[in-house]
Structure 1
Amino acid sequence: MTMSNTGQLMPSCVQLTDMLPVRYPVIQAPMLGVTTPAMVAAIANGGGLGSLPVGGLSPQKTAELIRLTREKTSRPFAVNLFTHAVNAPVDQAQLDAMQAFLKPVHEKLGIPFEHKSVADFSFYHYRDQLEVLLMEKVEIISFTFGILEPDVVELLKSRGCKLIGTATSVREAIMLDLLGVDAIVAQGFEAGGHRGSFLTDEALPQVGLMALLPQIAAAVSVPVIAAGGLYNDQTIKAAFTLGAAGVQLGSIFLACDESAASEVYKEAVISSGDTSTALTKAFSGRWARGIRNGFMEQMEQSGLEIPYYTYQNSLTSAMRTYGQQHNLRDYISLWAGQSAAHARRGKAGEIFLSLIEKLNF
């Protein structure tokens, strides 16, 4: 429970809410491609922490989204970065094989296809966005897919920024704690979308939240935010009981009015079941949890080695965009968690406040 027997928030929750600062220790997950400034603002205005995803975006787009969000709220919100290496080595033969697979898919959909070589790819790194974050005086920065370099941590801390890292294992959490972050998101295996894992010398962590959370809470010195499979007062209270100072929810907002998900995406989420999701690299080249569809199955059956994240994500971009625009379920990444069926229609702010009322903060 978040409440002590005196009716006050537990000390760990107070530490988090005072640090951010927000009224409630409830965070809306940053979901790139789905989360909008309107969604972020709705949660912020309700007393929670909205999270604006800008991973991989240009500095100009990053600034635009921050300003659009600030037009809708004067309250704190987090800006979420991707901190992976964007120029990882990739084999041209691997790219060629994948493009040979994707070309007939494009032709079937009537989408133009242009073969690319390694030199044709260009990606933004989170360092390209730092100047914008500093100019816009962003106060809360969360990040995933890796860790910030020490010089960046020092710079951001000197400007008063609060830093929130993402861990999928105890080892990752300890590294983030030693780095000097202010809070850590413990992402359970149930969570939708991309895994935040960043250690390449070990197998992909596959630890459920209820097992992962108490271990991370016992291993680090900063507040821990639980993420993965949380959707109502019961699951949230369970997370607080196991040591969470806060919770982060994503899938519950996938079908809300402010979500940028297409109608077919929203319907897929609402109609999903407990076994509807699976981990895949098909769309992006990085492990992510989503609702099974035709493209995922075709990619699995192909047996092809999938190029690294940024390359595969770029190669499937046109297909995914077309699928989103034309409500083609089999050609879009339907990122969703294992509890996604509990997503609700309606306004994000109303969904959030309904949850808060049941939690009796």
Structure 2
Amino acid sequence: MLSNEVTNLLEIKYPIIQAPMAGGVTTSNLVAGVSNAGGLGMIGAGYMSPGQIREQIREIKKLTPHYFGINLFVPSEFTFTEEEINSADQLLQPYKEHLKLHKKDTLEIPNAKKIVETFNEQIKVVIEEGVPVCTFTFGIPAKEVITELKQRNIILMGTATTVEEAIENETKGMDIVVVQGSEAGGHRGNFIHGHQKSLIGLMSLIPQVVDHVSIPVIAAGGIMDGRGLMASLCLGAKGVQMGTAFLTCIESGAPKVYKEAILQAKEDQIVLTRAFSGKWARGIKNKYILEMQKHENNLPDFPIQNTLTQPIRKASTLQNNQDYMSLWSGQSPRLAKNQTVETLMKNIIDEAKKLKVLF
């Protein structure tokens, strides 16, 4: 049986969670489609305003009667100097010129106080709209936030890349912890130690975390099918969180050029970079990543660099130019398919059931 304490807690048929990919990928149709197919659909709300969040939550409620969740970025401290910004902007000028972005950008540099205020407003919307599941990336929210959410019976899920981070999630009150292996696409969810200490492979990470926490563990990173689901369950996880597999689905909001890049990619093209956002993330190697490699260590931290590269990423997408897009992907692109959510979910479950019979 694929039912367990996580499926019972989340009121889902199958232990499959669609990863909350920020930046427009998690459309209402994608989120609702996953929930309607027996999994848990998730809104990637890290970059969304409180108003946008409220609108999408209400839209999804019209599309599914089932549980769905939302993911938020926990604000973290960051510092920068004008010199760092000017230096980084100078490095980006050739790309802006190539993409015909001649107009001087009037970008709003992130303000730490405002980011915290926005996060608190996002939490307020989650509570007011009664979203049943709330997950967090880049850290653990303050005790007051956790208490307030728990008082509303909202299920909380944290993200961890090491055993220590998983233990911290349990200690601070998370109900479930998502362990992110180094194979995972997109940004690293580490928050205690630096990038290098967070690069533990998923198959090594799952059993070590399971042995050190009592809350349910969800496996994430490179999982694309029923084989990945069953392998994770065998190692002690209670479910899986899948991103890239859902990103190439028809209902995904990823641009066509992005989906095509993943569908044509090979595993050795997937690399880690901080050139786009200032935070290490895994995606498909392209011209921008290659040329910026030598500057990576000197770039401003997230979210500063992310703001500086926004016009480049946007223009590149509009021009269907893969060279300067952040093409986030896990390490299993060869397993990606262009299909509906319903077909993907059915294939995962069918394969998992066959494997269960075998073993």
* TM-score (ref. length: structure 1): 0.92
Q: Which amino acid aligns with 2:346?
A: L
Q: Does 1:19 align with 2:9?
A: yes
Structure 1 residue 246 and structure 2 residue 239: aligned?
yes
Residues 283 and 316 of structure 1 are in contact (CA less than 8 Å); yes or no, is this contact kept in structure 2? yes
Q: What SS class does the counterpart of residue 71 from structure 1 fall into?
A: helix
Amino acid at match of 2:99: L
Aligned to 1:262: 255
Counterparts in 2 of 1:352 and 1:297: CA distance versus 1, 3 Å: same
Alignment of structure 1 residues 281-360 onto 2, 5 Å = 281-302=274-295, 305-360=298-353
Q: Which runs of 5+ in 2 are unaligned?
A: none
SS of the counterpart of 1:43?
helix
Aligned equivalent of 1:57: 48
Residue 165 (structure 2) pairs with residue 172 (structure 1): yes
CA distance in 1, matches of 2:47, 2:142: 17
Moved more, 110-119 or 193-202: 110-119
Taking the aligned partners of 2:281 and 2:332, their CA distance within structure 1 comes to 15
The SS at the match of 1:166 is strand
Determine the structure 1 residue equivalent to 2:98: 108
Closer/same/farther in 2, CA of residues 18 and 313 from structure 1, 3 Å limit: same
Cα offset for 1:31? 0.9
Aligned-residue RMSD, C-alpha:
1.9
1:26, distance to aligned residue in structure 2 (A): 0.7
SS at match of 1:338: coil
TM-score by length of 2: 0.93
Correspondence 1:145 to 2:138? yes
8 A contact 1:224–1:245 mirrored in 2 = yes
2:209 aligned counterpart, secondary structure = helix
User: Match for residue 280 of structure 1?
Assistant: 273
Alignment partners' CA distance in 2, 1:117 and 1:27:
34
The match for 1:6 is none
Aligned letter for 2:269? Answer: S
User: 1:22–1:99: structure 2 CA closer, same or farther, 3 Å change rule?
Assistant: same
Q: CA offset at residue 154 of structure 1?
A: 0.6
- Residues 53-78 of structure 1 show CA distances to partners (whole Å, capped at 9, x for unaligned) of 10132111111121222221111001
Of Structure 1 and Structure 2, the greater helix share is in 2
Q: Per-residue CA shift, 1:265-319, capped at 9, x if unaligned? A: 1111011112111110011111100000011112113466111111111111111
Structure 1 residues without counterparts, runs of 5 or longer: 4-8
CA distance in 1, matches of 2:237, 2:300: 36
**2:80 maps to which residue?**
90
- Distance in 2, matches of 1:208 and 1:32, equals 23
Residue 38 of structure 1 corresponds to 29
State the alpha-carbon separation in 1 of the partners of residues 28 and 44 from structure 2. Answer: 9
Partner of 1:69: 60
- Counterpart contact for 1:226–1:247, Cα < 8 Å: yes
Q: What SS does structure 1 have at the residue aligned with 2:251?
A: coil
